[in-house]
């Protein structure tokens, strides 16, 4: 089996830029603990998109509107080059291919629009993956071992026969304790090149 992360593995993202743009919306006295709670609650599906937006607006400058939050929040997403999608198609003909991503409803909606507009793909999840596990749907997030256990039980896959590819070492560390083979995806080597070099 192949198990992929989404951001910075399949889809290019701009975390530093998005954080900088978000911080420009926030008041100097914004409660960082509250903001982190809102972010994690949204990522785990514990609050709605409206509550997420309102939570950030409550910590923002007075002139910030919901559309400003949406634009900045979605600015983290850049897109996916065609060769990575071709790689996923090829992999799926030879292996069960799964996706495990810490994400949220707003970003998934953006990705659906993006894949339809840019790649004429109207069902990203069904086309490229055997199974998809989004944190906001599962109600859990990496690096918690519990989200990996949920995936194992739901799919029946054997971690010892599964390669997990992620861009964060802490996520890989948890997966390794459960028996997964792991690879850290770094900017210097595209995941498609790595898999080809390794003979997948």
* pLDDT (tens place) for every residue of the chain, 200 residues total: 999 999 999 999 999 999 999 999 999 999 999 999 999 999 999 999 999 999 999 999 999 999 999 999 999 999 999 999 999 999 999 999 999 999 999 999 999 999 999 999 999 999 999 999 999 999 999 999 999 999 999 999 999 999 999 999 999 999 999 999 999 999 899 999 999 999 99
Q: Which residues pair with 134 in a beta bridge?
A: 101
**Tokens 């859990």 sit on residue:** 140
Question: 161: which DSSP letter?
Answer: G
Phi, psi (degrees; rounded to nearest 5) at 64: -75, 130
CA distance 118 to 162: 31
Relative to beta strand 12-13, strand 77-79 is: antiparallel
CA 104 vs CA 49, 88, 133, 156, 187: distances in Å: 9, 22, 11, 25, 23
Q: What is the pLDDT of residue 5?
A: 98
Q: What is the pLDDT of residue 35?
A: 95
Q: What is the pLDDT of residue 76?
A: 97
Q: What is the pLDDT of residue 8?
A: 97
CA distance 99 to 126: 11
3-class secondary-structure state, position 120: coil
Q: What is the pLDDT of residue 191?
A: 98
């Amino acid at each position: 089996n192949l198990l992929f992360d989404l951001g910075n593995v399949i889809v290019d993202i701009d975390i530093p830029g998005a954080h900088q743009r978000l911080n420009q919306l926030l008041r100097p006295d914004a409660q960082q603990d509250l903001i982190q709670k809102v972010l994690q609650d949204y990522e785990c599906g514990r609050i709605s998109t409206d509550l997420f937006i309102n939570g950030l607006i409550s910590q923002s400058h007075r002139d910030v509107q919901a559309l400003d939050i949406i634009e900045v929040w979605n600015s983290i997403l850049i897109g996916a080059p065609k060769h990575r999608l071709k790689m996923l198609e090829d992999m799926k003909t030879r292996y069960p291919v799964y996706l495990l991503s810490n994400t949220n409803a707003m970003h998934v909606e953006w990705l659906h629009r993006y894949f339809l507009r840019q790649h004429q793909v109207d069902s990203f999840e069904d086309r490229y993956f055997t199974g998809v596990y989004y944190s906001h749907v599962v109600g859990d997030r990496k690096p918690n071992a519990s989200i990996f256990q949920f995936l194992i039980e739901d799919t029946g896959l054997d971690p010892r026969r599964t390669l997990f590819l992620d861009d964060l070492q802490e996520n890989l560390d948890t997966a390794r304790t459960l028996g997964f083979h792991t690879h850290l995806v770094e900017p210097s080597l595209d995941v498609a090149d790595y898999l080809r070099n390794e003979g997948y």
